[in-house]
Amino acid sequence: MKPLLAAAVLLSASASADPLIVDNGRLFIPAKVGGVETEALLDSGAEATIVDPALAKRANLPEGEATVMKGSGGETQARIVPDVMIEALGVALHPEAVVVLDLGDLSSRLIKRPTQAIVGRELFDAARLTFDLPAGTIAHAAPDIEPRGKRVNLTAHAGIESIPVTVNGVQAQAEFDLGNGSDVMVSRAMAKRLGLKVTGQKAGGGIGGEIKRDMVVLKRLDVAGATFRNLPAAIDDQASANDLNIGTSILKKFRITTDFKQRTIWLEPIGKAQ
């Protein structure tokens, strides 16, 4: 689906860090949907905020327009609801619309935590944020100070931002996906280019249901000067897949500052990679 446009207003920008819940490799923050408090999964790879029907009902959201949403696991029924205010980390977001769909399967099967909202890239587009996953904190970063770490430019691909990496000595683009709490993913085309051999299969798939993915091993992955070796990776057969997709299994090794508006992130290694 196409990204939904959003406007944002900064309600507060405390210099202190806010708590960030890291559970099963996924990130959760307090949020409000239509004024109703909830805990939201934070997902830089989500093109729009997603709301479960139960939360939509509590927030008295209108019915909206029926649609079919295609996810990594297949298609599912959804509704597009306009004019819903989202509040998170002191920022009031006014997206063109939110997506209302049943998050029950995703919560129990993949996220492993009751989840009724997913805050997507609207928040990343609206604020410069610093993440420290091992410390469990997230904070607004000063716009006039150069963050620590290696500056990495972002490139858009199918609505998701990507960064340059090197895999098995080959330059590639990897989706920057803080919503991915599972293995690194590699496109089928990149797997063939690298001559990777399938080692088995593993259950995966997000919105749309469970699927089986072929598994391979990446001998070496270089990200912002850090090297990771012998990584299990799942093959992504989606037509829109970028070369790779890296989530928190890799990104937890960095202190991260994001500035999507400036098309940039900063990655500062924490300890050793692998």
Confidence of residue 1 (pLDDT cuts 50, 70, 90): very low
**Which residue among 140, 169, 184 closes a domain?**
140
With respect to residue 197, please indicate whether it lies within any of the assigned structural domains. yes
In this structure, is residue 1 part of a structural domain?
A: no
d(CA 159, CA 69): 14
Is the same domain home to 43 and 88?
Answer: yes
Q: Which of 122, 140, 158 is the last residue of a domain?
A: 140
pLDDT tens digit sequence for 136-173? 999 999 999 999 999 999 999 988 999 999 999 999 99
Assess whether 234 and 260 both reside in one domain.
yes
Are 124 and 156 members of one domain? Answer: no
Q: Which amino acid is at 61?
A: L
In whole angstroms, what separates CA 249 from the centre of its chain? 12
Start-end of H helices in 150-256: 188-194, 248-251
Mean pLDDT of the region 58-83: 90
Q: Are residues 52 and 94 in the same domain?
A: yes
Residue 178 near residue 119 (C-beta atoms within 8 A): no
pLDDT digits (tens, 9 = 90+) for 182-213: 999 999 999 999 999 999 999 888 787 788 99
Comparing CA positions, the residue from 137, 96, 107, 132 lying closest to residue 40 is 107
Distance CA 240, CA 260 (A): 21
145 is a domain residue: no
* Residue 29 covered by a domain: yes
Note whether 136 and 20 are within 8 A (CB).
yes
Contact 113, 26 (CB under 8 A): yes
The answer for 225, left when phi > 0, alpha when psi is -120 to 50, beta otherwise, is left
Beta bridge partners of 9: 92
Number of domains in the chain: 2
Is the same domain home to 165 and 262? yes
Sign for the pseudo-dihedral over CA of 164, 165, 171, 174: negative
Write the CATH number for 203: 2.40.70.10
CA distances from 186 to 12, 43, 216, 237 (A): 39, 19, 9, 9
Asked if 76 and 189 sit in the same domain, the reply is: no
The parent domain of residue 120 ranges over 6-140
Residues 129 and 156 in one domain: no
Whole-structure pTM value: 0.90
- Structural domain ending residue among the three candidates 119, 140, 161: 140
Q: Which residue would you say has higher pLDDT here, 12 or 237? A: 237
Specify whether 203 is located in the same domain as 170: yes
Q: What pLDDT, on a 0 to 100 scale, did the predictor assign at position 69?
A: 85
List CB contacts of 252: < 8 A, sequence separation 6 or more. Answer: 22, 25, 133, 134, 270
Q: CB neighbours of 144 closer than 8 A, spacing ≥ 6?
A: none
In a domain, 213, yes or no: yes
